[in-house]
Amino acid sequence: MAMSGYTVVNTDISKVVITQMKERHAKYPNLAYCVSDCRDMPEFRDCQFGHVLDKGTIDALLCCKQGTANVMRMLQEAYRVLQPGGSFLLVTLGDPTRRLPLLLDPCLQWKVSLLLLPKISVACQAYVDGKPINDTVKPIDAEGPYAVLDPETIVGLPEGVQYSNYFFAYVCKKQPLQLPQAQGQKAQLPDGWVAGSKELFQKLQKELGLPEDLLAKGRRTRVMVVPAGSAAAGLHGTQRHGSSSSGSAGAGSSSTQGTAAQQRAASMHAPDELRD
């Protein structure tokens, strides 16, 4: 994921593990590491992440005393740090009879779907010494997804499926943000979502050189995105800051002639909820 351009934050309760991983993957600037207890993560704000991934942590917690209580605390934290519409992906040994009662707790307002990950049959296994020349994992031909309605109802699941032949992945999608449809109505946005949106905008503002007052109340602006090195790149500054009496920002038509194929224009209007 990091090599594909994603920013990934990795957590572990062990400081030793985090230190080792930081050193091992130092060449990847978009990989971050943080010592954290998955049951209580105050270092992360509400709605901070678009996706959360767990592979095996829940399985380990269930082997401890008060396992179910610890798992529920972890799931509630995963739900809290997810953005509206974000997904929690759980890869586990636990079949639906054991995991769905946890994932479908009423306090977790998400929709769950199931993927079956076939195991390699014993007949196809071979035991050899040494390390594979290429340890890159090939994509798994998963079966599904199957929509989960309740712990006992999985839509489309083949009858007589043998759970012992599979590993399991559960995709839990948090409910998206419901914005008001009627004029004059307002919705209370999650504090963490607002903070995260502002943080993202400030990052883009810095990278693209956008006006500092772009989120000012009532401000509408047209931002011209020009590829670096193009003939119009030198005009980008005047295009961005030119304004009219209506509060719009743009460029005169003479400055953009001949560059339409190299530019994209976007009209941006900041919602009230994101303004200070």
Residue 128: the pLDDT is 60
| H or E segment and range at residue 91 | strand 82-92
Q: What is the pLDDT of residues 101-143, one digit of tens each?
A: 999 999 999 999 999 999 876 555 556 666 555 555 567 788 9
Task: Give the separation between CA 71 and CA 170, rounded to whole angstroms.
Answer: 15
Are 187 and 179 contacting, i.e. CB atoms less than 8 angstroms apart? yes
The mean pLDDT value for 169-179 works out to 91
**CA neighbor of 50 nearest in space, from 186, 187, 176, 209:** 176
Kindly calculate the radius of gyration of the chain based on its CA atoms and give it in whole angstroms: 24
Q: Kindly list the domain boundaries of the chain, sorted by start residue.
A: 1-36, 38-174, 191-251+261-274
Report the sign of the C-alpha dihedral through residues 187, 190, 193, 194, in that order. Answer: positive
Residue 259: the pLDDT is 41
Q: What is the pLDDT of residues 19-34, one digit of tens each?
A: 999 999 999 889 999 9
Are 198 and 274 contacting, i.e. CB atoms less than 8 angstroms apart? yes
Q: Which are the contacts of 33, defined by CB distance < 8 A and separation ≥ 6?
A: 9, 10, 11, 12, 18, 21, 22
The mean pLDDT value for 221-241 works out to 50
pLDDT at 61 over 90: yes
- Flag the least confident range among 60-74, 146-160, 228-242, 243-257: 243-257
Residue 73: the pLDDT is 96
Going by their DSSP bridges, the two strands 220-225 and 264-269 should be labelled as antiparallel
CATH architecture, domain 38-174: 3-Layer(aba) Sandwich (3.40)
Question: What proportion of the chain, given as a percentage, has pLDDT over 90?
Answer: 47
